[in-house]
Amino acid sequence: MTKSFSLSCLVLSRISVGETDQVVTTLSALRGKLRVVAKGSRQLHSTKRAALEPGNIVTAHCINTASMPLLTQARLTSSARQAATSLARLRRFHQLLEIVDRLFVEEELEAELYEFVLSIRRQLLEPAGRHHQARRQLEELVVRLGYPSLAQTSHRNVNEYVSQLTGRGLHSFEYLLVK
């Protein structure tokens, strides 16, 4: 295995560790779901800070270490800031990221599945906001991963279904519920 590698990836989530570091969960066609350590990424002058926002697509340069890969550089390829134009849109977008994070395991991923996740992301970021089509694509993603279709279960929506499959409720932006 080579010491360093680069990959284009979707940032799924990030967790603060220590005073200035983060553990970033990414999804890429080459390595599937991957957790990396981004040292110093929470510092105000960090060049990685803005690129590592959840939902962004970045080109990440990493170094393999004994435990987790170390992210040394991140260059923004595609921003997800369009998701923040409304609370409903932001909520749907973060639910997508959490569902993908929950359903995929840390291993290799078929490039076709990665591209499918990116197409759902694009649907949610479009100005027209075709979230109904994105919802159908999420249901299709669950089937492509080998689970029964939503219609074959007693669940009302993908969120309930994924919560039952993973054994934990989804909690992405519950406080942004639009009533």
Region 44-56: what's the mean pLDDT? 88
Phi, psi at 61, each rounded to 5° = -110, 125
pLDDT at 1: 54
Task: Summarize the confidence of residues 23-28 as an average pLDDT.
Answer: 96
The pLDDT, as a whole number, for residue 45 is 81
pTM score:
0.88
For residue 55, name the pLDDT band (cuts at 50, 70, 90): very high
Query: Hey, what's the torsion of the CAs at 142, 59, 171, 88, to 10 degrees?
Result: -90
pLDDT confidence of residue 106: 85
How much is the pLDDT for 53?
92
CA torsion 127→131→132→136, rounded to 10°?
A: 130
Question: What is the architecture of the domain spanning 4-78?
Answer: Beta Barrel (2.40)
Give the span between the Cα atoms of 109 and 96, in whole angstroms.
Answer: 18
Domain extents in the chain: 4-78, 82-176
Q: Residue range 88-93: average pLDDT?
A: 84
5 forms beta bridges with 62
Q: How far is CA 25 from CA 30, 33, 132, in A?
A: 14, 7, 27
> Is the pLDDT reported for residue 19 higher than 70?
yes
